[in-house]
């Protein structure tokens, strides 16, 4: 169950998604040596301190006793060290105590954190999302007193949306905030599924809560965003009285046992408005989108962890008569095992590249040289975010499942630890908006809303990469299949834009998978081109991974196109008979 943070893979991925060019344009004080030093230091912390706690956190978990939540054994000390070493403040604005590094560097560090210990990583992950929300929409008081504490990691953040009767349907929430007569608000209601909503690892916990005001209109237009803290914050920044909210219990879950998932009750808790009344959902989307990208990184991370364990097992386990004689009789020599591992590796690198691409785009949307460049970067960032979240987390589950399969029966028992990765991975396609919701967002807001123009621009760029691949002898098969895949995606986009709303929604999930598969092929093709001509065996393997992905994944594009175009009528017309007992 040892883990080695994939520093070399991450450094190479950063180079192939345009990170060096970003540094030259907008971060002149950063260079490749700095990036490498940050990655290596983060790897040492992830490998040495977080990874050893992962199994213990799964077996013992967080605890709820006497109305209080305690972090899993060892987690509080690890969090203290995480904060002391500065890992919480990587990309935050230096004006609030941040280090001003790039978003892609932050994502790279957090991939190692999540891979080492996903349950631990959820705590600082949500703090990062809270930082982004308050940086954009917080009041001057919140930015002065609360934001620096979140950036340092002395305080943690929690996102509080879901209620027992209202899951994804936020319009149905009933939590209410009433004016307290002194410029503040009194918050009352119950929230469920609140990750790290209470714990003993930090001095204070900052809840960003959506709720209604007494005179608010129904629906999402009546939602506002509020900040309420476990201990009230005085005007001089010191902590005051315990606020009037508490954990009712923590959930007993399939996985991520070290992460306390709380039911929280607010009983006239003192709160502050964040941003404008009635704009709570728009303000909260800043936090949600930041979390969605981080969740995509979690998918990559848990896949990496599961893959490493499966690879090690395959090289230690002797079974049968392997066909390849370079494996010393171990199951690594069976072609199907090797294919499974190599395809897992290819998908991990593809998903990693998609997530890091969104990170680079996030910085370009703020720092590019012209308004047009910033707008184009923002549009592509928004297009790729649901793909990064959904496609990458699906890959996380798929690779973790493949890891169990490589272990065979040994993977189905808890002692090997392979099952933990599968259990942990399974939440990622569900939270921060299920992957079905991500698909609806992709087709509705990101593709159809502007007639598919943003996606078509991306397809044109992918097609150019395919042409370049076709000019490289050992990669021409990759180029041919990538060109075919992107042509299918363009046709599917045309169909989607012209389709009625019900047909488009019925096609949303296969459309997102098609877009993710093609973008993954684009990422691997770019990596293969960057490595072409090298005599380094590790770099040469990039071409092999791209070829395997092209033959095993991109060849499925036409079938997905059929699924996109043909699923709607049967869902509408024959569902009752098809589902009858």
Start-to-end C-alpha separation, the chain: 45
Q: Which two tokens mark 515?
A: 């877009």
Contacts of 566 (CB under 8 A, 6+ apart): none
Query: pLDDT digit string (tens) for 221-271?
Result: 899 999 999 999 999 999 999 999 999 999 999 999 999 999 999 999 999
E runs forming strands in 201-260: 204-212, 223-229, 231-233, 239-242, 245-250
Per-residue pLDDT reduced to its tens digit, 365-419: 999 999 999 999 999 999 999 999 999 999 999 999 999 999 999 999 999 999 9
Token pair recorded at residue 486: 């992107």
Copy the structure tokens of residue 173. Answer: 């929430």
Mean model confidence pLDDT for the chain: 96
Overall average pLDDT of the 499-512 stretch: 95
Which residues are known to be catalytic?
Answer: 432
Q: Return the SS3 of 145.
A: helix
Whether residue 519 is predicted with pLDDT greater than 80 in this model: the reply is yes
Asked if residues 292 and 438 have their Cβ atoms less than 8 Å apart, the reply is yes
Task: Give phi and psi for 115, each to the nearest 5.
Answer: -65, -40
Q: Where are the alpha helices (DSSP H) in 442-574?
A: 453-470, 476-498, 501-506, 508-531, 537-552, 557-566, 568-573
- Measured CA distances, 102 to 27, 86, 138, 275, 299 (Å): 8, 15, 22, 26, 21
Torsion-angle region of 329 (φ positive above 0: left; ψ -120 to 50: alpha; else: beta)? left
Q: What is the pLDDT of residue 568?
A: 76
**Dist. CA 452–CA 222, nearest whole Å:** 31
The whole-angstrom separation of Cα 113 and Cα 14 is 17
pLDDT tens-digit series, residues 191-207:
999 999 999 999 999 99
Do residues 204 and 243 touch, judged by C-beta distance below 8 A? no
Tokens linked to 556: 């499925």
User: How many residues appear in the chain?
Assistant: 581
Q: Report how far residue 522's alpha carbon sits from residue 554's, in angstroms, rounded to the nearest whole number.
A: 10
pLDDT classification of 545: cutoffs 50, 70, 90: very high
Nearest to 199 by CA among 116, 287, 119, 313: 119
Q: In the Cβ-directed half-sphere of 124, how many Cα atoms lie within 13 Å? A: 32
- Give the C-alpha separation, 211 to 445, whole Å: 24
Question: Which residues on neighbouring strands pair with residue 231, listed in sequence order?
Answer: 242
Is 90:101 a contact under the CB 8 Å cutoff?
yes
CA angle 30, 34, 39 (to 5 degrees): 130
Cβ atoms within 10 Å, residue 85: 14
- 52-67 in b/e burial notation, b at 16+ Cβ within 10 A? bbbebbbeebbebeee
Portion of the chain with pLDDT greater than 90, in percent: 92
- Residues of the chain above pLDDT 70, percent: 100
Q: Report the C-alpha gap between 464 and 482 in whole angstroms.
A: 10
- When pLDDT is averaged across residues 74-98 and rounded to a whole number, the result is 97
Residues 6+ positions from 569 with CB-CB distance below 8 Å: none
Contact 35/14 with Cβ under 8 angstroms?
Answer: yes
Question: Given this model, what pLDDT does residue 165 score?
Answer: 84
Nearest to 380 by CA among 204, 181, 184, 522: 522
Helices (H) and strands (E) in the chain, counts: 22, 11
**Closest to 393 (Cα-Cα) out of 446, 430, 344:** 430
pLDDT, tens digit, 9 for 90 and up, residues 121-131: 999 999 999 99
Q: What is the pLDDT of residue 567?
A: 75
pLDDT of residue 1: 59
State the CB neighbour count (10 A cutoff) for residue 372. Answer: 9
CA torsion angle for 487, 490, 494, 497 (degrees, to 10)?
160
Euclidean distance between CA atoms 440 and 82, whole angstroms: 36
Q: What is the pLDDT of residue 170?
A: 80
Q: What is the mean pLDDT of residues 158-183?
A: 90
pLDDT at 172 over 90: no
Q: pLDDT tens for residues 419-468?
A: 999 999 999 999 989 999 999 999 999 999 899 999 999 999 999 999 99
Distance, in Å, from the CA atom of 200 to the CA atom of 34, rounded to the nearest integer, reads 34
CB neighbour class for 462 (10 Å; exposed up to 12, middle 13-18, buried from 19): buried
SS3 for 486-520 is HHHHHHHHHHHHHCCHHHHHHCHHHHHHHHHHHHH
For residue 188, what are its two tokens? Answer: 């009352």
Q: Is 323 exposed, middle or buried (0-12, 13-18, 19+ CB in 10 A)?
A: exposed
- Taking residue 366's Cβ as centre, other Cβ atoms within 10 Å add up to 11
Is pLDDT above 80 for 481? yes
Report d(CA 475, CA 391) in Å as an integer: 25
pLDDT of 569 reads 77
Q: How far apart are CA 112 and CA 437, in angstroms?
A: 27
CA atoms within 13 A on the CB side of 528: 32
Q: What residue ranges define each of the domains in the chain, with the CATH number in brackets?
A: 7-141 (1.10.540.10), 156-278 (2.40.110.10), 284-569 (1.20.140.10)
Which is nearest to 357 in space by CA: 461, 255, 279, 287? 461
Taking alpha carbons only, the member of 193, 209, 204, 205 closest to residue 249 is: 193
């Amino acid at each position: 169950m040892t883990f080695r943070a994939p520093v070399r893979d991450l450094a190479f991925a950063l180079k192939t998604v345009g990170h060096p060019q970003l540094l030259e344009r907008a971060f002149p004080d950063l260079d490749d040596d700095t990036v490498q030093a940050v990655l290596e230091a983060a790897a040492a912390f992830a490998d040495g301190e977080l990874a050893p706690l992962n199994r213990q956190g799964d077996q013992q978990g967080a605890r709820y006793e006497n109305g209080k939540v305690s972090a899993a054994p060892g987690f509080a000390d690890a969090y203290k060290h995480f904060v002391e070493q500065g890992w919480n403040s990587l990309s935050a604005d230096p004006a609030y105590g941040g280090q001003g590094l790039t978003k892609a560097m932050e994502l790279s560090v957090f991939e190692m954190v999540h891979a080492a210990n996903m349950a631990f990583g959820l705590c600082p992950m949500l703090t990062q999302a809270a930082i982004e929300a308050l940086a954009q929409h917080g009041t001057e008081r919140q930015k002065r007193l609360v934001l620096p504490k979140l950036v340092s990691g002395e305080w943690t953040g929690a996102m509080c949306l879901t209620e027992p009767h209202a899951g994804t349907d936020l319009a149905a929430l009933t939590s209410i905030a009433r004016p307290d007569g002194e410029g503040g608000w009194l918050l009352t209601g119950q929230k469920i599924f609140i990750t790290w909503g209470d714990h003993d690892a930090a001095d204070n916990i900052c809840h960003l809560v959506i709720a209604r005001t007494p005179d608010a209109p129904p629906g999402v237009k009546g939602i506002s965003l509020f900040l309420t803290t476990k201990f009230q914050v005085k005007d001089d920044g010191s902590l005051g009285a315990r606020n009037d909210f508490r954990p009712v219990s923590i959930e007993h879950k399939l996985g991520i046992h070290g992460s306390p998932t709380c039911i929280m009750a607010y009983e006239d808790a003192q709160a502050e408005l964040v941003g404008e009344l009635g704009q709570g959902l728009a303000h909260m989307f800043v936090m949600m989108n930041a979390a969605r990208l981080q969740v995509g990184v979690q998918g990559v991370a848990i896949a990496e962890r599961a893959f490493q364990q499966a690879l090690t097992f395959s090289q230690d386990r002797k079974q049968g008569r392997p066909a390849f004689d370079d494996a010393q009789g171990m199951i690594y020599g069976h072609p199907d095992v090797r294919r499974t591992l190599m395809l897992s590796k290819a998908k991990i690198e593809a998903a990693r590249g998609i997530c890091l691409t969104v990170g680079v785009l996030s910085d370009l949307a703020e720092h590019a040289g012209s308004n047009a460049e910033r707008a184009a970067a923002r549009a592509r960032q928004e297009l790729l975010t649901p793909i990064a979240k959904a496609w990458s987390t699906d890959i996380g589950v798929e690779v973790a499942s493949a890891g169990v399969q490589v272990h065979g029966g040994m993977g189905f028992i808890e002692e090997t630890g392979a099952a933990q990765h599968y259990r942990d991975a399974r939440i990622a396609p569900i939270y921060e908006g299920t992957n079905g919701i991500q698909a609806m967002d992709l087709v509705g807001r990101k593709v159809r809303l502007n007639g598919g123009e943003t996606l078509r621009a991306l397809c044109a760029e992918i097609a150019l990469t395919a042409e370049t691949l076709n000019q490289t002898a050992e990669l021409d098969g990759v180029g041919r299949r990538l060109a075919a895949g992107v042509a299918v995606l363009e046709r599917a986009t045309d169909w989607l834009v012209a389709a009625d709303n019900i047909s488009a929604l019925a096609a949303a999930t296969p459309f997102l998978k098609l877009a993710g598969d093609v973008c993954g092929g684009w990422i691997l093709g770019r990596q293969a081109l960057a490595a072409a001509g090298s005599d380094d065996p590790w770099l040469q393997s990039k071409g092999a991974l791209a070829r395997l992905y092209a033959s095993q994944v991109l060849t499925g594009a036409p079938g997905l196109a059929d699924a996109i175009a043909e699923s709607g009528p049967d869902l509408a017309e024959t569902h009752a008979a098809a589902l009858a007992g």
